[in-house]
Structure 1
């Protein structure tokens, strides 16, 4: 798929592309990732930078025994490898996998670094991306230290509803229990207990193992765990 085809197929991305430096488009190749595909691997050399146009990614770690742990979710538009480039470190700080189908612009790390040095406005926008991700991580980890498991589960569900608001139909949480538990930073058994309690108290429904949230249940979650609470 070319950039022209991409813009024709996804008009919403056309505006996003027009806001990028022409030089970035010149040095980049359009790539796609399927759900579950690894994008970069921790401690491997930084070869590419990815400007992610659409999709969702997981910042994660995997032990030698194969245990997978995701500790941050990134939503497009976002960047991968900008942290290492700005820090001047030649290996990836963490692994990143696609959580859903992603479309990205891939450029070489060297050419991307040269673009940052020559385009102050783009450098500023990249610095903002880094800062937003660091803020989100610090904020969530700080909250986690003072929240109960039930609070963290409910707040996760509210965040889900921001991305997939329940309307005429229920909003369905498609993530697996193990992935939710790793994002919320609790055990899967604790997560299951929290979900059962929220279900019993009318905050959600569970159908065929999937968490479902109606508009009225979303409002109940907001009333109890919303920003003003």
Structure 2
């Protein structure tokens, strides 16, 4: 993933961001096969204890042909999992610099994590049930009355497991980028935050990310000039 040389958009600890995001944000899984690129959107849980850089685990519906191209040679396949955070278009009209010099252009603010690795499949029922249990428990945890796979008949759950194929992305590189106007002046940043704070839900999310220095994606915002990189 492209990162400008000034380094202001680079996240210092992408592993920490992945640990938080993978628990709440679905991934876009990208693989390449004989017919070109394939993509699927799916929840994936990060296990930092497995391997040098950890693994991401998820599953696809068995009729989804993407998984069948993964283990053709028995060694897995290269893949990328992308986790998208909030993003929004930034109009030049929001910048203080527009009124002062007019030397401004539009841009887009966003936060993203890109995870590279080797993807393998799992078809063992016990592996699938353990994976689904962990996935469900994670996403049900905040509910007042969490649902558990134990609430459903065992035979039913095992039958449902036959309809999915497990995936494991063995990670070798994690990249994270938060492009949130760190290269703008304080006055320009304030203008964007003020406008986004009363905008769409996505704009409000971007504004919250821009103003929160404790967010693991952000860290502190260095001062910058007025160039868009």
Q: TM-score range by the shorter chain?
A: under 0.3
- TM-score, normalisation: structure 1: 0.23
Higher strand share: 2
- TM-score, normalisation: structure 2: 0.23
Larger relative contact order (C-alpha < 8 A, sep ≥ 6)?
Answer: 2
